């Protein structure tokens, strides 16, 4: 399992799908928003938590199509399916590798990019907490979408269309945690709901992804 994780991390960086591309996209989104909505400092402060969440969500989509595609192309996926390691664990390891190379860097850089959106000081911690709790769900849901579209030519657009609706609950609760924390309100309800969504996704979707991969490999 550790060897598979190391292999996926090495492939992610070697294939150019590591944190650099995601952070660059995240930065572009954050820089463009003030040009679109204007230089109203009060407005930027209000929408900053939601913009950071939307930017992180879209940045996570960039490398999802390569999650299983490279293994499909070189035949490694067939070997992984017949290996002693359960296919559900293979999916979990690949989702973890995606989070380490995409989700985690976005979590760490989000507070710094919040400066560009005039994020209030009280919001930095909650943006960090909400993204740290929600981005693992984005990677696991993305792995499910990648399993559905593996082997399809130009399946990137279809993958985005399939995954984005599944991202909505995580986006709603994650952005609400950041918004309430920034405003000094209670974050208990959205925080528990966000944690519940993440735990449910991690517990259930690897099995669904493995089942889909088995169908596609037949």
DSSP the chain: -HHHHHHHHHHHHHTT-SHHHHHHHHHHHHHHHHHHH-S-HHHHHHHHHHHHHHHHHHHHHTTGGGTTHHHHHHTHHHHHHHSSS-HHHHHHHHHHHHIIIIIHHHHHHHHHHHGGGT--TTHHHHHHHHHHHHHHHHHHHHHHHHHHHTT-TT-HHHHHHHHHHHHHHHHHHHHHHHHHHHHT---HHHHHHHHHHHHHHHHHHHHHHHHHHHHHH-
Structural domain range at position 49: 2-217
* pLDDT number for residue 150: 84
* pLDDT number for residue 1: 73
* pLDDT number for residue 125: 94
* pLDDT number for residue 15: 58
* pLDDT number for residue 85: 80
* pLDDT number for residue 106: 92
Tens digit of pLDDT per residue, the chain (218 long)? 777 787 777 776 665 555 678 888 999 988 888 888 877 888 888 899 999 999 999 998 887 877 887 777 777 777 777 777 888 998 999 999 899 988 999 999 998 999 888 899 989 999 999 999 999 999 999 999 988 888 777 667 788 888 999 999 999 999 999 999 999 899 999 999 999 999 999 999 999 999 998 888 77
pTM listed for this prediction: 0.90
* pLDDT number for residue 126: 95
* pLDDT number for residue 56: 93
User: What is the number of domains present in the chain?
Assistant: 1
* pLDDT number for residue 155: 65
């Amino acid at each position: 399992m550790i060897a598979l994780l190391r292999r996926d991390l090495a492939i992610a960086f070697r294939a150019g799908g590591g944190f650099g591309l995601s952070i660059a996209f995240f930065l572009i989104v954050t820089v463009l928003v003030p040009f679109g909505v204007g230089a109203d400092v009060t407005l930027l402060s209000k929408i900053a938590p939601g913009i950071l969440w939307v930017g992180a969500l879209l940045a996570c989509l960039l490398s999802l199509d390569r999650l299983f595609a490279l293994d499909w192309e070189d035949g490694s996926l067939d070997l992984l399916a017949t290996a002693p390691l359960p296919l559900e664990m293979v999916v979990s390891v690949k989702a973890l590798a995606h989070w380490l190379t995409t989700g985690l860097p976005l979590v760490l850089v989000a507070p710094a990019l919040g400066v560009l959106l005039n994020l209030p000081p009280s919001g930095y911690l909650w943006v960090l907490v909400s993204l740290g709790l929600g981005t693992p769900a984005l990677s696991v849901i993305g792995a499910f979408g990648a399993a559905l579209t593996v082997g399809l030519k130009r399946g990137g657009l279809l993958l985005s269309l399939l995954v984005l609706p599944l991202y909505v609950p995580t986006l709603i609760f994650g952005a609400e945690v950041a918004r309430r924390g920034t405003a000094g309100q209670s974050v208990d309800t959205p925080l528990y709901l966000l944690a519940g969504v993440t735990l449910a996704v991690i517990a259930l979707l690897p099995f669904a992804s493995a089942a889909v991969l088995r169908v596609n490999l037949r």
